[in-house]
Structure 1
Amino acid sequence: MLRVKNLNVFYGGIHALKGVSIDVEKGKIVSIIGSNGAGKSTLINSICGIVKYKDGDILYKNEKLPKQAHKIVKSGICQVPEGRIIFANLTVTENLQMGAFLRNDKQGIQKDMKRVFELFPRLEERETQIAGTLSGGEQQMLAMGRGLMSNPDLILLDEPSLGLAPLLINTIFDIILEIKEMGKTILLVEQNAFKALSISDTAYVLEQGTITAQGDAKILIKDEKIQEAYLGKKKVEIK
């Protein structure tokens, strides 16, 4: 569904992504794991048209992806950004409606709103509440629900567990699996490597702008070097 080929991104003189290539198959969960500053969010933002890349190609459904963010959303890709970035002064329902701003199929929008409330019952309980007064976990649910309201085929999740309590993290990852069961394809950027690998089909390790490992997530989670670097053992360099 998505193919990133030899992507290079610079911030001034800093080479943030160095020839990064990834493939995302339809109906799969693909994870990008790595430490802070590895380039994970830069990769996501490059796909979404927020960060401009110097060279390389991004193909979506075998066609070159447009570089304008609104055209990317219209093509069937949505991003659930790091830090949630909800509209704090709008209600829960208004935030969800904003997710559907490029749509004009009223019945489809109503159907998706109902589905979002089924996935996130807490949001339905707070549908008239101002979003800025929600808890961190509820705001993450709202950000995910808002993304689903664009009716995407591919969802880019950027650090969905950031700042959440362990119990809520488990809830969010359970919901990610439910979203996959809806037929959605997911590209997941996540610092919680164990949780990410445990639900993913394939995964990539990004270190200082370079892919250093890739493959079946069930194999990577058992890899000794990855365990030492990301799963709580003594950190070693991945070569």
Structure 2
Amino acid sequence: MTQASATPTEFAPGLTIRGITLPMKLSNFKLIAFDMDSTLINIECVDEIADAVGKKAEVAAITEAAMRGEITDFKDSLRRRVALLRGVTIADMERVYTERLRINPGAAELIRSCKAVGMKVLLVSGGFTFFSEQVRQTLGIDFTRANVLEMEDGPHGKQLTGRLVDQFWGDICDGAEKRRTLLEVASLLGIAPSECIAMGDGANDLPMMGAAGLSVAYHAKPAVREQAMVAINEGGLDRLLEVLR
């Protein structure tokens, strides 16, 4: 299925569709892929970690420009942000998780509904495994891919070096890697890309959204809303269930 280009139609208040023919069933799909930061969860983790070292404004400005698509090299933007995190401790990151990170409304309900019809769930993130693994356990997600923050011994225990660790699949999970992961998992499951749903909010989600049979924007940047087949602009993630019966 090609990416949506038709004029959007208001399906319900705060919920638009374009380029798709209804009715559609959730059970027609076999895999749903989620972005993490600002999609499954309420924060951009890198921004909140930066707050621990007094650099949130600096990091958040880079994040915002990257998500809007103004910085087109996501890998470079992420390396620049992670470099500013040097010295952040594990304890600092635990505080971000416990005090600031919340699962977005409707995430658990949507995932339960997907699993009830036999779908698998993929979390694919330009964020960090420190958070994605805890989110995976909380929501019962089947597959994850995210970036690993390098650690070193510091005066207050383990701390960040300001670098990322290369993994067996590559160096950084950017937009191209999100798309590749979606297609790789679909292939492993023996399903077609047209049987996949991809949901995100930022420019680096567009490659995987374009490869999926159904693309969903969640409280997304304008450039993402304009290309998505379903745009949830108000309410929780489970509003997708209003479109897919």
TM-score by length of 2: 0.30
